[in-house]
Every structure is written in structure tokens, then in C-alpha cells.
Structure 1
Amino acid sequence: MLRKFAVLALAPLFACGSSTATSTDTDTASSTGETGTSGTTGEPAYRATIRRTSYGVAHVQADDLGSVLFGQAYAFAQDHVCTLADQIVKVRAERAKYFGRGDGDAHLTSDFTYLALEVEQRAQRMWDATPADVKVAIEGYAAGYNQYLRDTPPGELPADCAGAPWVKEIEALDLVRYYVDLGLLGSSNQLASYIGTAQPPGAPLTMPGGPLRGLGTLTSGGFGSNGWALGADKTTGGGGMVVANPHFPWTGELKLWESHLTVPGEVNIYGVGLMGVPGVLIGFNDAVAWTHTFSSGNRFTFYKLALDPSDPTAYLYDGTSRPMTKKTFEVEVADGGTVTRTMYYSHYGPMLNVDPIGWSTDIALTYRDANIDNPRLIEQFLGMDRAKTLDEFKAVFQTVQGIPWVNTMAADKAGNAWYADASATPQLSDEAIAGWQAAIEDDFLTGLLYQQGGLVVLDGSDSTYEWVDSGDARAPGLVPFAGVPQLDRRDFVFNANDSYWLANPAAPLEGFSPLHGSERAPQSPRTRINAMLLQNDPRYAAAGDDGTFTLAEIQAAIQGNHSLTADLVLDDLLARCGAHPVVDVDGSKVDLRTVCGILGAWDRRFNPDSVGAVLFREYLAAYSGGAVLDRGSLFHVPFDPDDPIGTPHTLIAPAEGQADGALVALGEAARHLAEAGVPLSAPLKQLQRAPRGSVEIGVHGGFAKEGIANVVGYDGGLNSTLLPKVPRPPSIAGTAGLTERGYVINYGSSFVMAVEFLPEGPRGEAFLTYSQSEDPRSPHFRDQTELFSRKEWRPLLFREADIAADANLRETVVEGG
């Protein structure tokens, strides 16, 4: 057994450069393997074998946990060193130090936010509470990242960070700072512009805060995903089956990276993880497979404070004035000097600056975060990776309770399926919930933020609204594992970012706190198409005549690109178009016969070659996102909570004597496309393009309103790195995000995996849509993007014989420490 040393204890040795790893370029090394010596007289602390197979997938083997994660980090850094280096600068509150104040003082705001959140102190507490084996894992990961930097001259790093002074070796505690931030992804992480600019009335610094409208995405983080877990009653082979389809950014720190980790007798896990995180977040081992979707529940609660009339840095609490806590922080700036700022806190948490509310003499907003102290994040992930049965997998959730912000769908080789939303959730008393729900109707701000995104605003002046501690949760005030929504099935469970309510429509989960999400409420078209596919709805017959899924059938279902919205309205629209083929649009006559002919021939899918998909998308641009949820401007039959998958439906008829709004919207779509120079018959792939470097690749998939499981799109707010981002020209007025470059794609389906358990073990196929490496010099920079564009799944090489047989196998041994 190799010796394991704490990375921090070896800092002087690292500085002397007396330990080196032996490695060769994984794309050119001999397939028989190349192994070198350490270059030291002692035994290295870590030693791992990295085998790269087709598409750059890293299979890492070692004799102990620290070494396998040393190897994982080394391989990860080969593909994404710049991304993790950037994030370490962010969480160390050093952006202004290296990059200056930033536009609109953005870097200063970021730094003061991370100082105000006390990430360093929380990281130390997280580290102190971390079990010894998890410390070994994090130390090994930090050592592997550092070893890559020692082995790679700064000028040979990818262009985004080559020679950059901010790319430096790290300590284990730097990674823990980053994990604190990841735990806050559904809460404080997205409040930087609200936290870092919060100053009391009369302060010399006045800056616009984060926008009020921006709070509407905080409960979901702007993320989407589909997750399916099928049991024996729904699979042809009788074992469990899992489909992972997380919708995440295609650039930045929230990308996923693929690896396979093996320590004989301890762990054999395949899947993807977030940048810089040890282990696997979504994947499978010999007995269990699982995936996640972002939870729609609340990870925090806002508190509206009634300020003391004599002092805006004090607030009333149960009738008594309570002073805020204040702390002064200092940030170093690149152009010399420092900037200091005093930040303020209620007993709930940091103060917020919400534009245009700000922080007035009368009212201020603060919040409490359920994940602000989550020391068990990495322990949770590694525990799941090492589970040998579904019962062991569930036990990790019960004993560790470290899940921060996701639903979980899992299935095992025996054909059991399980769902849980075990995300950290505030626990309120029945009295507090009733008072909050009454305030939704009576208080403008409380009602507005609830309507925007299910956000909870409580009365911070009344102790009734404090979180309730039951003594059996990970932290005081959280819902314990026994109280979270969960469901065991033998047919299926799923989630598509609506609440837990319909994890299986045949067994609705009801009676939970509304902070977990809504019950008996309208579902998104994507949730509905997910359920229809899994229920083998006759319109799609995804499981065939026998009603059970093979691997090929489940792959075809998740990537079928059926548009539910089109199926619900298009027949009516075409009938009305045939009856009234000419429509008045802003005083001009538009002939719809060609338009309706194209839509009539359309396959109602958003596949690469689908003709009519673009036209239908632009037709839907006339309707708001909420129009697809209930009766209104689009649908005639309203949502029925007793038929939540089947409703709403049917195109609404025009009011008597009024123009047919649906036909007008269709005419506007045709006119907008003509003005943009886009042929009405353009196939989707001609306009929907994913830039990968200098190459743009036509991809399939749809937008949220279109009711498609396979979502793609554009998002400019989910990448916090300072690395180059995918630009998008301004949208053409009246369109669904169409630009002079078409529909620019930088978000959506990311790691798409389908895996089944057979008697001989797990078998699966997948693609990582944006490919394995972020370095344009790598052959794995866009190879899987091209696979995705053609819907060509690749096998997941899990068995040793399959790895050894891969024609592109390259092996490297790395050691150090």
C-alpha cells in the first residue's frame, strides 16, 4: 500500500520542486503504457494510472482513494485547468487583485460578496468537520491538480490561461472554499450583485443592486434537467434503468467532466462530476445508477425587515430594536492600493440591495440560507459513489444529509427505482406558513416574489417566522431526511424540474411543506412530455407494444424531440388556417397557405432536418412562457389538477368579432422570418448552431415552451468565470431569440446517459454534448458535439475487457506528492 501524506504538510517539499510526476501526452503515449520513476529518493505519496479511451474519457486506477483522486484531478486539469484556476481566484476574493475593479466594479462586488459570506472561515469549519477518508480524497485531488501544474510549463497551458499569474498551486482548503460556493449554487452563489453592493441609507457608496426581476430564477437557478429511473416493471430486461439528461451550461464552471474511477475492493464508479470536484455526481457503479435534476424548492427564505426609525442599521424584532452586525473587509486591487467596505448582517444573514427597492429608511431585505453551512457535500457524493446496494445508497442520504439543491432518481440491478428531493429545505411552523400564504395576498412584495418564482418572503420582525429546529436534521432549522418527499416504485420515477408532486403520476406525493414546491399546480410542457413518454402514451408509444423499454427505446424517447405543444395546438391551427388563409398583420395582408403547408408537412419534432420547427418556434414567440401552463392566450381547456398530464390543451378560439390571434401570430412569424432573410422551409440545423471555437455545429433540441424533453438554448448568466464566453448578437425584434447568427446555443442537454442493469452488469451509452476538453488544441474539444448533432450514441466503457479493447486506448502513470 502506498503511503498517504497530507498535502498541506508537504508544502515545503512542493516548493522545492523535488517531486515530479512521470506522464506522457495521453493522446500520443504508447497503448502498452509508459511508466517512469519519481525523481525522488523516497516513495511517492500518490500513484495512479490514467487510461484515456475514445473521446478522451479518463479511466483512473489506483490502490487507494487518495491516489485515484490524485489521478482524477491530474486528468481533469489536462482538460480544464483554466476553469478551476479561475474559480479558486473567485472564492479567494482575489478577482480585483488580478483583474482590477471590473466593469461597474463587478470584480470588487464579487470579492466583497465572498468576503461577506465568510467563505474562508466556513471552509475551515467544513474541513474541521470532514471525516478522515474524505480529507484524504480532497488532499489527493489538490495534489493531482498541483502535480499537473508542475509538469506543465506555464506557457504550454491552454491559451485562456497560459502564463497567467493567477494559475497557481492550491491547498486542500482552497478546494473546500470552492465546495462551499458550490453548495450555495441555488442560493447565495446567485446573489452576489445583491450582497456585495448592500449599503445603508446615507452611506457614501451607492450602487445599483441586483434587479428585482432577476430574483425570479433563484428557486431553480435557471437550470433544467430530465431524470428517469425505471424499475423492473418498465424494463424489458428486468433490471433497473436510468436516463440522465441534465441541462447545464456548455461553458464555464458548471460544465460536467467524465471519468471512471477504480480502487479494487473499494470503489468502481463511472460518470460525470462538476469541475474540480472529486468523485462522480451523476453515474453508476456495479449495483446502482442515479441522476439528478435541479430542485424547484426553496434553499433560502427572504426576510423583510421593519427598520428602526432612528437607525437604518437596526431593525425591529418582536417589538425591540435589534442592531445589525457589521464587518469591514479589505480588497487588494490590481492597479495598486486597497478598497475597504463595511458589510451589514441581520441575525438571519447578509443584507441585500435589490434594485429598485434598495435599502431605504423604511424597509430592507435580508435572507437565511439553508446551505450556508453544509460541511458534508463531498462526503455525500463520495458516499453515493461507494454504495454497493440501493439500501446503502439511501442510507447515505439519511445519515449524511449533504444533498444541497437536487432531486435524485436512482435504480438498482434488482429493478427497484427510488426518488427523493432531499435538498436542504427550511422548516417552518404551520403558523408561519399560514402567515406567509396570507401575506402573498395582502403584501405587494411578498406576492410579487412568490409569483415571480415561488420565492418566500417572511416578516423578519416577528419570531414566528424563524425556522423550526426538530433536532434530527443536518443543521438546525432544516427539514430532516424523514420529512422530505421520497417514493419507491417498481415501474418508474422521474423529474423535469417541477416539484416532487408527480414523481410518478400514479402515486402523487402530497402533504409536504410548500417550501419543497407546489402540489396540484400546473406542470411545464416538458414535465408532461416526460410523463407521457414514460407512461407509453399512444401518441408516442415510446416503449412499444409490450410497454417495457429496451435501451434503444429509452434512448429514442429522451432524444426523440417530440413537441408536445405542437401536438396540442397544431391541428386546430391548421384547420383555422385552411378556413382563413389570408390574415391582416398590422394593416398588411399575409397569405398563410405556404406557411400552413410547411407546418402541415412538419414531423412535429425538433430534429436536425425538421422543416417547420423554426416556423412553429417563431409562432410561439407571440405567447408568454406562462401561456403553456394554463388556460389563457394559447389554450382553451384549463389545467385540471385531477388530470395534470393531460391538461391544458386545445387552441383557444378568438372572441366573437375579434381577429384570430393565433393566425395573426402565425402571420407575424412568417413576416419576421422574411425580414431576417430566413427561408420558411429552413431546417432546424441551419439556424440552431453551437459554437465550439471557430466551428459552429448544427444541433437538435428545443426551447422550454415547445414541450421537448431535450432542451437547448442560450444563457448568459450561468457562467461566472472570467474566461471567454460564447457571444450572441442582439435578438431580432419579435422573434424567439433569433439573431443574425441564428439561434446561438450554449446551454442545455449536457451529459446524456442511458444505462441498464443486465445479469452480467451495467451497460450504457451516452454523449457529453460539449465534449470532454475545453482546450481547442485537443482532439476532444468538439468530437462529441458532432456526435450529439447526429444523435450517435457512444458506448460507456466500464468493463475491463471493453476498455482494453478500445482502439484509441492511451495509458499514462502519474505519481507525486
Structure 2
Amino acid sequence: MVDGVSQPMQAQPLAVEARRADGSVETVRRTLWRTRFGPVIDLGARNPALGWSAGKALAIRDINADNPRIFRNFLRWNRARSLDEFIAIQREETAMPWVNTVAIGRGDNRAWYSEIGAVPDVPDDLRAACATPLSKAFAALDAETPMLDGSRSACDWRRDPAAVQASAMPTVRMPALLREDYVANMNDSHWLSNPAQPLVGFASVLGAEPEPLSLRGREGHRIAGELLQARETSASRLADRLSRKVLESRAYSADLFKAPLLRSACGPASVELPADAGGAARSVATGPACQVLRRWSNRADADARGALLWDFFWTRLSAMPADELHATPFSAQAPLSTPSGIREGDPRIAQALAGAVEDMRKKGWALDAPLGVQRFVRSGGNSVPLFGGCDAEGYFTVACTDAEGSYRMGPDSHGNTYLQIVHFDARGVQARTLLAHGERETAVTNGAGAAPVLRYARKDWLRFPFREEEIARDPKLVRETLRP
């Protein structure tokens, strides 16, 4: 019902051939449903209040369903001859479907950041006026995506004549930034793309502001600040520095907090754990764990001993409310340095270390086991040890699996994908690239295509052939001519 008028849904029957466990194939049939807004979804498994019932249903509306401009946007970008032209194209098309944009131009000392793209026009006043009793439950799953009351036409996305697409947000209300030092985004919101010039005053559908940066975000800004302080005048040498820094695999959580945490946890040689789901009350020796973490370099190279133990320790600490773990809470006036400190003496810190020791013991892993023994990918018939860690621990170099209890990387893991470092010199574009998961889907499922994975594991940047003469020198070059 919309404004009291019934709005029929449309059925979409589907039939999919699916493989059974015994290898045979069966036809699985489903009927999906669409509304005027988009497909109906049932989130009852996440929260019973969000399930589909006789009285309510949830539908997803996708701004990109009416955004074919993205193809023209990329084609025009490929032909742009300056950074200014690149920026103008982005403003004209407003087509990027979901990603942030950063760009530089030849002979131009500016760097561009923007979140200009296809975004629904949902200002905060509309979001507040059209919230439903279910909005709070949905926000627990996704705090940024607005849930609006579909039964009132007044709650439709706004229509601004300045927008390039009906019900899309106009470009002037999206964040963008030009700087001569740097711009960056490490999967945080737009607001601190450069600490010297926060981007504020934008609708919350674009991202929260201000909000605590992730530890990975803070590490990224630390890297940028370190490179700025080096005052490198050569673009090539700056690219050399950057290529090393972004694969350094520092655990920023350990750089910041390991020393006070160990002071708090490593007084007694053992820690008493109360009875819990893990068993009866018991005493856990933590002295060896303290020694392992003290010796650990705070890095997550494949041969690092202590990185695994830190993962388990930090995971348990992260379950504590931030204002109870840290001595100084987050401050928007000091976003790169807060939250900071540790509330030393809290018994939960020592208990977290003892719990981490138990976690590793249950898996049969040595406290000082090298990271790569567990964090690896099967590729080309071999186990390839990998570096990196989860962004929650503050690793800029991400290699993180969602599979409970496993560190093995694969097609469903969360980690680096395509990496590039680009600069310009007198000859033009100079690009270095890495493809962490390889070109073929089989490269991370123990099949063919291991070469890029092995290159990534070696941290061996590929000098990308960009100019025609570089491409022509490739001994494996194959030319195919496509004609209309």
C-alpha cells in the first residue's frame, strides 16, 4: 500500500541448475518478487523483526539500476588529457556506482579526491521524517543505509532538477577535495580524506562525520605523513618509498598499544580465568605468551612469530567497549591520535591474553608459530605463505579470512586485490602493479594461474608496460583485431 492505494508486486519465477552433494544435477525453482521500489528481501534470519510477513516487507531500491552513464564515464576518462578534464567528466556524469575516486594528472601538482557518483537523494531531514519502527533494527545491521517508509509517497527519494538522474543527489552536495599535499581514503568515510581539511556538512547517506577512523585508516595517514616529512623531490624515489611502505605489514594496533597492554597483562606468570563456556575456573600460564609478544616486531610478514598470537589477543580486546579499553576517547579535534592509551590494570586485559593462549592451544598452534604456516593460499598445487593481516588490527596490507577458525585465504577471503602505484616522468606514465589474487579464478583455489599470486607473495611489483613500445616488446604479445 502506498498512500492507501494497493500496489501489486511482480512475480519473477527462476529455475537454476544446481549440483547436489553426490555430483548429480537438479533444477531448483524459486519465485522472487519485485515492488515499485525493487526486489523484496527477507532479513528475518538476521533479525525476526525484519522478516517478510503478511503486514510488511522490505524492498531494496538501487540508484544504479538506472545508471548506464558509468560506461560512458570510464570511456571519457580514458580519453581525458588533464586532471581538470577528468574532474569535469566526473561532475558531468555523476556516475561512479559506489567507489571513492582519487586521481593525479601529468604536470599537475594537485591530487583529487571525491565521492561524486550515483547516490540516492536522501537528505537527513527526509531520513528522520520517514524512519519507521523497523529503522532502528535495520540500523543495527547497516547504520549508513537509510530505511524509509515505503507506504508514503512523501518518503520517496527527493527529485532535484540539478541532478543528472531522477532521484539522484546533485553533484554540488557531494564531497570533493583538491590538495597539493595528499588525499587518501582507507575504506573510512569521506570526512577525513585529508586531516588538514575535513569534509563536513554532507548527508549521512554518504558516510558518517565525524567518526573514529579505523586503525587501518590511521595507519594510512601515518604512512602519508611519513612520506611528506621525507620531502622527496623525485617522483620515482617517492614511488619507491611508497611501494615498500604499503606492503610493510605493520600492525598499527601493536605499534600503539602493545607496550601498555603487556605492562597490564604480564605482571603475574599466570592468570586466573573464571568458569565460562570454555570450562571450569582455571589458571593459564601467560609468561611464554608475553615473551613471544615482546620479541615480535609488530609486523606480519610470512615468517613473523607473534603475529598470530596478537590476532587472538586483539580480537578479544576488541570485544571490550572502546571507552573502557582506552584511556582517552575519540576526539574529532585529534582524529589521528584518538582513541589513545590503555586503561592499564583492568583485569580483563590479562584475561584476554590468557584467553588468546587458550585459543591457540585449542587449535594446536604454537604461540610463536610463523604467520605463513597458517595464513597461506593454495595456488598451482602449492601452499603460498602470505603476509598481512586484518584491517581491524591496523594492517594497511590486508589479508583476512572470514572463515571461522581458518587463516587460509581463498575466493571468499577479505584482502588486497589489485594494487597500483603511478607517477609521471619525462617519458609519461610509470606504473607498478600487483594482482594479489591472480588473473584466473582458479589461482586461489589451488588451480592454474599462480604466477601473479607468487609475485604478490614476494612483494615484487610488476613494472606495467603502458606505452606502445613497451607493449610491443612483450614476447608473449598476441594481437587481435576487432572489426564492426
TM over 0.5: yes
Q: What is the deviation of 1:461?
A: 3.1
1:482 Cα deviation after fit: 2.2
Q: Residue type of the partner of 2:409?
A: V
Structure 2 residue 158 is matched with structure 1 residue 468: yes
In structure 2, do the counterparts of structure 1 residues 340 and 802 end up closer, same or farther at CA, with 3 Å as the change threshold?
closer
**Structure 1 residue 446 displacement after superposition:** 1.3
Shift in CA distance, 803/651, structure 1 to aligned 2, threshold 3 Å: same
Aligned to 1:106: none
Report the equivalent of 2:141: 452
- Give the alignment partner of residue 793 of structure 1, picking from 439, 461, 468: 461
Q: Displacement, 1:636?
A: 2.6
- Cα contact 2:127–2:146 (8 A) shared by 1: no
* Counterpart for residue 350 of structure 1: 39
Q: Where does 1:341-420 land on structure 2 (aligned, <5 Å)?
A: 341=31, 343-345=33-35, 347-355=36-44, 356=48, 357-413=50-106, 414-420=108-114
Q: How does 1:605-644 map to 2 (within 5 A)?
A: 605-624=299-318, 630-632=322-324, 634-644=325-335
Counterparts of 1:653-732 in structure 2, within 5 Å, are 653-655=344-346, 660-715=347-402, 731=404
Tell me the equivalent position of 1:758: 425
CA–CA distance in structure 2, aligned partners of residues 336 and 615 of structure 1? 45
TM-fit CA distance, 1:671: 2.1
More strand per residue: 1
How far apart are the structure 2 equivalents of 1:333 and 1:487? Answer: 46
d(CA) in 2 for partners of 1:681, 1:499: 36
Letter in 2 for 1:363: K
- Distance in 1 (CA, whole Å) between partners of 2:136 and 2:32 is 31
- Deviation by residue 1:522-569 (Cα, 9 ceiling, x = unmatched): 211111111111122xxxxx5564367711111112111111111222
CA contact under 8 A between 1:766 and 1:793: conserved in structure 2?
yes
Q: Does structure 2 conserve the Cα–Cα contact (< 8 Å) formed by 1:610 and 1:683?
A: yes
Aligned counterpart for 2:194 among listed residues 482, 496, 504: 504
Query: For 2:9, which of 313, 317, 326 is the aligned residue?
Result: 326
Moved more, 797-806 or 641-650: 797-806
Please give the secondary structure, in 1, of the residue aligned with 2:201.
coil
Please name the residue that 2:470 is paired with. 802
Equivalent position to 1:591, from 285, 291, 306: 285
Q: Which residue of 2 aligns with 1:581?
A: 269
**5+ residue gaps in structure 1?**
1-314, 537-541, 716-727, 732-737
CA contact (8 A) 1:383 1:396 kept: yes
Q: Which has the larger radius of gyration?
A: 1
Give the structure 1 partner of residue 341 of structure 2.
Answer: 650
Identify the residue that residue 568 of structure 1 maps to in structure 2: 256
In the superposition, relative to structure 1, how do residues 752 and 430 fare at CA in structure 2: closer, same or farther (>3 Å)? Answer: closer
Could you list the per-position Cα deviations for residues 352-379 of structure 1 after superposition, in whole angstroms to 9, with x for gaps in the alignment?
Answer: 3221332323333234321121121211
CA, structure 1 residues 448+626, in 2 after alignment: closer, same or farther (shift >3 Å)? farther
Instruction: Provide the rounded CA distance (Å) in 1 between the counterparts of 2:27 and 2:478.
Output: 49
* Other structure's SS at 1:598 match: helix
Residue 499 of structure 1 deviates from its aligned partner by 1.1
In 1, the alpha carbon distance for the partners of 2:302 and 2:380 equals 21
Relative CO higher for 1 or 2, CA cutoff 8 Å, sep ≥ 6?
1
In 2, distance between residues paired with 1:673 and 1:589?
A: 16
Work out the percentage of aligned pairs sharing the same amino acid: 27
RMSD: 2.8
Note the 1:41-56 alignment, pairs <5 A: none
The reply on whether 1:559 has 2:247 as its aligned counterpart is yes
Alignment partner of 1:755: what SS?
Answer: strand
Is residue 712–residue 745 contact of structure 1 (8 Å, CA) maintained in 2?
no
| Alignment coverage as a number of residue pairs | 459
CA distance in 1, matches of 2:381, 2:205: 45
Does the Cα contact within 8 Å between 1:330 and 1:338 map onto a contact in 2? Answer: no
Correspondence for 1:477: 167
**1:492 equivalent in structure 2:** 182
Per-residue deviation, 1:336: 9.8
Q: What's the offset of the Cα at 1:744?
A: 3.4
For 1:559 and 1:348, how far apart are their aligned partners in 2?
43
2:278 paired residue number: none
TM-score (norm 2): 0.87
Over residues 49-71 of structure 1, what are the superposed CA-to-partner deviations in whole Å (9 max), with x where a residue is unaligned?
A: xxxxxxxxxxxxxxxxxxxxxxx
**2:149 aligned partner, one-letter code:** D
Change (3 A) 1:802 1:448: same
Secondary structure of the residue that 2:183 maps to in structure 1? strand
Report the CA distance between 1:787 and its aligned residue. Answer: 1.4
Structure 1 contact 771–780 (Cα < 8 Å) conserved: no
Are the equivalent residues in 2 in contact too, given 1:578–1:593 (CA < 8 A)? yes
Q: Which amino acid aligns with 1:447?
A: K
Q: Measured at CA, do residues 714 and 751 of structure 1 come closer, stay the same or move farther in structure 2, by a change above 3 Å? A: same
Deviations along 1:710-756, one digit per CA (max 9) or x if unpaired, are 111225xxxxxxxxxxxx6xx3xxxxxx33xx443443111111111
Hey, what's the Cα distance between the residues in 2 that align with 1:784 and 1:791?
A: 10
Separation in 2 of the partners of 1:344 and 1:380?
29
User: Deviation of residue 470 (structure 1)?
Assistant: 1.2
